[in-house]
Structures are given as structure tokens and as C-alpha cells.
């Protein structure tokens, strides 16, 4: 299919979309659910025929926000089979919860990732590229930088002891299409 035809088809799809489509889900703050969160947002926007790059970028941004909620909000740092001074990941019962909300207003995707964990003391500092409170766990400190790079808008609301809310917005259909045969 040529790029022009694809664009026209996408425009037709957008025309017929409901003005608003929302989803909301809550899951345990364990690392296993990072992949689940990524795939569910990708599925939520699939009908818009996003490009592979678009989907990858959205999945990455969701992954960063959800991972932050789990390892920083609830200090649940270990993924699978890491044994250390604290309990292995699979022994943790009653983890905190992460809430993921998506809203599609036509072709504008709004994502909210919320936790009721320990909150961020200094949001501006937390959002500095390379800054991390957990360098000893091989964290790159680039989570927020990636969210900012891959989404159109990013907002972070947080207070110590009051959890964290991350809001991201992305307009879909703005990525260049690749012509068939190229």
C-alpha cells in the first residue's frame, strides 16, 4: 500500500472514531506486570494502525512510568530470581498497586500512571537525565528522559508520602509511513 493510500485510510479510521474511549486498570506493583502494561496500551491503540516505531515509543514510555512506580514508588526493586538482602521477588505478598489509565480522544492518546507509594521529594531533580536514587541497582536515570523523548507532553505530580501521578500525551498518526517496497 502506498504511503498516500495508508494516510487516507488512517484519516478515514480517525473520522469514524468515537470522540472518547477510556480504559482504566489496576495491577500489583511487581516487575512481571511491566510487560503486561506495555502490551495493554499497545492493544488499546491498535485500531488506529500505528506504525511500529509509534508503538515502540508508546510501549517504552509506559514501561518507564510503570517501572518507576514499582521500583521507586514502592521500593520493589527486584525482578525475577534476584536474591539479596531482602526477599526474592516471588515472595513479596501484598505489593502496592499501580493504576494505569488511558484515554483516546480521537487520535490523541493520554496516559496516566499512578501509584500510592512514597512519592518524590524533588520532582525537578528526579527528572534530570542521569539522576537516579538507586545507582547501586544499575538504574540509568533515564526513565523520565525517555518518557519526554517519546511522548509529546509529560507531567509529573508528586509529594513525599502522597504517591506519584505521571501524565503523558501523544498524538498518533504523526510518524512518517514507509512505502511498500522500500
Partner 1 sequence: MEDFQIIDNCLMVKLPEEVDHHKSSYICEKADSYILREEVENVVFDFEETRFMDSSGIGIIMGRYKKIACFGGKVFAIHADSQIRRILCISGLNKLIEVMD
Residues of this chain that interact with partner 1 (CB under 8 A) are 31-32, 34-35, 38, 52-53, 56, 59-60, 63-64, 67, 70-71, 77-82, 137-143, 145-146, 149
34, 54, 64, 114: the catalytic one is 64
**Annotated active-site residue in 33, 38, 54, 68:** 68
**Residue 124: HSE in the Cβ half-sphere, 13 Å Cα cutoff:** 0
Catalytic annotation on 34? Answer: no
Residues 6 or more apart from 86 whose CB is under 8 A from it? 78
Is the Cβ of residue 21 or residue 146 nearer to partner 1 in the bound state?
146
| 133 contacts: CB under 8 Å, gap ≥ 6 | 72, 126
Give the H or E element holding residue 113.
Answer: strand 108-115
Nearer to partner 1, 70 or 151 (CB): 70
Please say if 21 is a catalytic residue.
Answer: no
Name the grid cell of 101. Answer: 489509565
**Closest separation between CB of residue 147 and partner 1, Å?**
9
Amino acid at each position: 500500500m502506498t504511503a498516500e493510500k495508508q494516510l487516507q485510510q488512517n484519516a478515514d479510521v480517525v473520522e469514524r472514531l468515537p470522540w472518547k474511549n477510556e480504559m482504566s486498570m489496576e495491577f500489583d506493583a511487581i516487575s512481571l506486570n511491566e510487560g503486561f502494561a506495555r502490551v495493554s496500551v499497545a492493544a488499546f491503540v491498535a485500531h488506529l494502525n500505528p506504525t511500529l516505531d509509534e508503538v515502540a515509543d508508546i510501549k517504552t514510555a509506559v514501561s518507564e512510568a510503570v517501572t518507576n512506580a514499582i521500583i521507586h514508588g514502592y521500593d520493589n526493586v527486584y525482578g525475577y530470581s534476584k536474591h539479596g538482602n531482602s526477599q526474592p521477588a516471588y515472595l513479596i505478598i501484598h505489593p502496592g498497586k499501580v493504576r494505569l489509565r488511558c484515554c483516546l480522544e480521537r487520535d490523541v492518546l493520554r496516559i496516566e500512571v499512578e501509584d500510592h507509594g512514597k512519592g518524590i521529594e524533588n520532582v525537578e531533580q528526579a527528572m534530570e537525565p542521569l539522576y537516579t536514587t538507586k545507582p547501586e541497582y544499575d538504574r540509568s536515570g533515564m526513565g523520565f528522559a525517555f518518557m519526554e523523548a517519546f511522548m509529546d507532553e509529560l507531567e509529573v505530580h508528586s509529594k513525599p508520602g502522597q504517591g506519584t501521578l505521571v501524565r503523558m500525551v501523544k498524538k498518533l498518526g504523526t510518524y512518517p509511513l514507509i512505502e511498500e517496497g522500500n
